[in-house]
Chain A
Amino acid sequence: MDLSVFSYHFMQMAILAGVLGGVACAVVGVFVVTMHLSFIGVCIAHAAFAGALLGLWLGFDPLIGALLFSLAAAAIIGPLADRGELNPDTSIGIVFSLMLGLAFLFMGLMHGARTEALNLLWGSILTVSQGDMIFLAATTAVIVGLLAAFYKEVQAVICHREVALAVGIPATVIFYGLLFSTGVTVTASLQSIGGLLIFSLILNPAAAAYQLTYSLKRMIFIAAGFGVLSCWLGLIASYLFDVPSGAAIVITSTAIFGLATAFSPKRKVKGWQQAQLTG
């Protein structure tokens, strides 16, 4: 294999984007997977995509549109899921389909070539700009920093939200913080991974790590490792087989999830878990 490609600046940037995006996505993935909120995350990802397209259509920075839409989606979905006025799946499904509808509406209203819009759909880790990289680095640093600062509250909320509220932890603030950090991470990774594919990079590494350990700390580190590995292996596959990088990254992360599930020590639990729940 010709390794000279790694000496190019664009490839080094892609490798760095893989580390930053892989870590940030995996960390918020741990929140989403542990709280069983995968559908909320998918919905936020599509909201970010719709917001970015609005930016492209109206001529402002797509990242600002993505950020506003993803935060707004989190702010709408959180209470809908909590208050139980509608079944959470129904309300999130409605917001999800609205976001998808808006995305295609904005795309349809655009004039001229839609290359940039399609880039947001598929992402392109090989053409990440310096500005995107700074935003991604800042997002990753803030999310990892906040997690370190509020680890015990995050642990309580994602594992036992009702209990966290009952013992006097500001559980609602932490919960919305986790939803917003998902929105920001999606926005920051939009250019490199793409709006349609980003959520696999959030879900798969964390879901794979969930199969392998009962320790939250270990799960976070394993998920981050899998996230980075997915990006790097996807990049190599993309280079070797000349396929789109975003797609290669997502397929790699799914393969890692498949392997983790196949070799999961937790599968052994299943037999007596039933007896315990009915006991």
Chain B
Amino acid sequence: MDDTVIRIRDAVVSYREDVALQGVSLEVKKGEFIGIIGPNGAGKTTLLTVINGLGKLVHGQAWVLGTRLNGGNHNNLRKRIGYVAQVERIDPRLPINVRETVTVGCYGCLGLFHRPGRAHREKVDEVLEMVGIAHLAERPIGHLSGGEYQRAAIARALVQQPEIFLLDEPTASIDQKAQREILGLIQLVHREYSMTTLFVTHDLRMLPSICQRLILMKDGRIWQQGGPESMLKEEVLGQLYGTAVPAEIASSPRFHRDSSQ
């Protein structure tokens, strides 16, 4: 049986005059953990929006979890995809607490007129425990630190019980300790649930060592792709970013070790 969960062919996406994706083709197998790197404006986030049905293709075709993306609203597809964006600025007075925010994850699947039952509440408790913020459950969401907020966002996505997990710069704008913890949590989640995961970052230091394949994007195209050991080389990354990349980042030993596993 074909285990391809994402198939994109020659996708073109444009925002008015700007072409954000130009002729991107990609196949992703079930359970893969893929890192997507590239400079700002390379089209990484746009690629994720195509996958969750929010980016409109002006050319090309895309199938995600068996659904052909045709410009409709694709709410049913999004119920099956967890999405975590970078920390956003939240009004500290917002009248919603952490538990309620995490529970929003199951609202799409529940559908209109249905309220979360005991099973949903137990799932929320279980996930809050897993991501390490059970003690913050009753705190207003705007009162969390950046790292705690990302844990809540990951918890919300997990409550959704998604088949695909999209992470768009989840470690941007948070301190280094929190960044390491969030990366650890993302890897733990992948080991636990084996979800197909696409992890976008422009910061090479934030690439999880669990990555099986790296996609290098530049100017709206997939510039190169392959295993981390063949992509994370000084000369490749230097060309990708248009500037010298420090050797300790380019030849990160964690990838060479993990890729042999």
Complex interface: chain A residues within 8 A of B144 (CB): 276
Complex CA distance for A215 and B97, rounded to whole angstroms? 8
Q: Does B130 contact A (CB under 8 A)?
A: no
Q: Which residues of chain A from 53 to 69 have a CB within 8 Å of any chain B CB? A: none
Q: Which residues of chain B from 71 to 117 have a CB within 8 Å of any chain A CB? A: 73, 75-81, 83, 85, 88-89, 91-97, 100-101, 104-110, 112-113, 115-116
Contact A167 B96 (CB under 8 A): no
Q: Does A259 contact B (CB under 8 A)?
A: no
Q: Does B31 contact A (CB under 8 A)?
A: no
Contact A276 B92 (CB under 8 A): yes
Q: Does B129 contact A (CB under 8 A)?
A: no
Q: B103-139, CB under 8 A of A: which get 1 and which 0?
A: 0111111101101100000000000000000000000
Complex interface: chain A residues within 8 A of B145 (CB): 276, 279
Contact B140 A214 (CB under 8 A): yes
Least distance between B217 CB and chain A CB atoms (Å):
21
Which of A39-47, A132-140, A168-176 forms part of the interface with chain B?
Answer: A168-176
Complex interface: chain A residues within 8 A of B143 (CB): 269, 273, 276
Contact A169 B108 (CB under 8 A): yes
Are A160 and B104 CB-contacts (below 8 A) given A170-B75, A213-B95, A216-B96?
yes
Least distance between B82 CB and chain A CB atoms (Å):
8
Least distance between B11 CB and chain A CB atoms (Å):
20
Q: Does B201 contact A (CB under 8 A)?
A: no
Closest residue to A149 on the B side, CB-wise?
A: B113
Complex interface: chain A residues within 8 A of B160 (CB): 167
Complex interface: chain A residues within 8 A of B156 (CB): 163, 167
Contact of A152 among B79, B97, B107 (CB under 8 A): B107
Contact B95 A168 (CB under 8 A): no
Contact A273 B104 (CB under 8 A): no
Q: A249-279, CB under 8 A of B: which get 1 and which 0?
A: 0000000000000000010010001001101
Q: What class of interface size applies to chain A in its complex with B? A: 20 to 34
Q: Does A34 contact B (CB under 8 A)?
A: yes
Complex CA distance for A279 and B75, rounded to whole angstroms? 34
Contact A34 B107 (CB under 8 A): no
Are A169 and B75 CB-contacts (below 8 A) given A150-B112, A210-B93, A269-B92?
yes
Contact A167 B93 (CB under 8 A): no
Complex interface: chain A residues within 8 A of B80 (CB): 168
Candidate in B92, B116, B140, B146 with the most chain A CB atoms within 10 angstroms: B92
Complex CA distance for A38 and B156, rounded to whole angstroms? 29
Complex CA distance for A57 and B123, rounded to whole angstroms? 60
Q: A202-215, CB under 8 A of B: which get 1 and which 0?
A: 00000000110111
Complex interface: chain A residues within 8 A of B93 (CB): 210-211, 214, 266, 269
Complex interface: chain B residues within 8 A of A163 (CB): 101, 104, 156
Closest residue to A216 on the B side, CB-wise?
A: B95
Q: Does B45 contact A (CB under 8 A)?
A: no
Complex CA distance for A34 and B78, rounded to whole angstroms? 25
Candidate in A153, A156, A168, A215 with the most chain B CB atoms within 10 angstroms: A168
Contact B95 A156 (CB under 8 A): no
Contact A156 B75 (CB under 8 A): no
Complex CA distance for A234 and B90, rounded to whole angstroms? 35
Contact of A279 among B105, B106, B175 (CB under 8 A): B175
Closest residue to A85 on the B side, CB-wise?
A: B16
Contact A167 B95 (CB under 8 A): no
Complex interface: chain A residues within 8 A of B116 (CB): 152
Q: Which residues of B pack against A, CB within 8 Å?
A: 52, 54, 73, 75-81, 83, 85, 88-89, 91-97, 100-101, 104-110, 112-113, 115-116, 140-146, 156, 160, 174-175
A-B CB contact pairs (8 Å), 30 listed? A153-B107, A155-B96, A155-B104, A156-B104, A159-B94, A159-B95, A159-B101, A159-B141, A164-B107, A166-B78, A166-B83, A167-B79, A167-B83, A167-B106, A167-B107, A167-B108, A168-B79, A168-B108, A170-B73, A170-B75, A214-B93, A215-B97, A216-B95, A219-B95, A266-B93, A269-B92, A273-B143, A276-B144, A276-B145, A279-B174
Closest 4 CB pairs of A and B: A168-B108, A168-B79, A167-B108, A168-B78
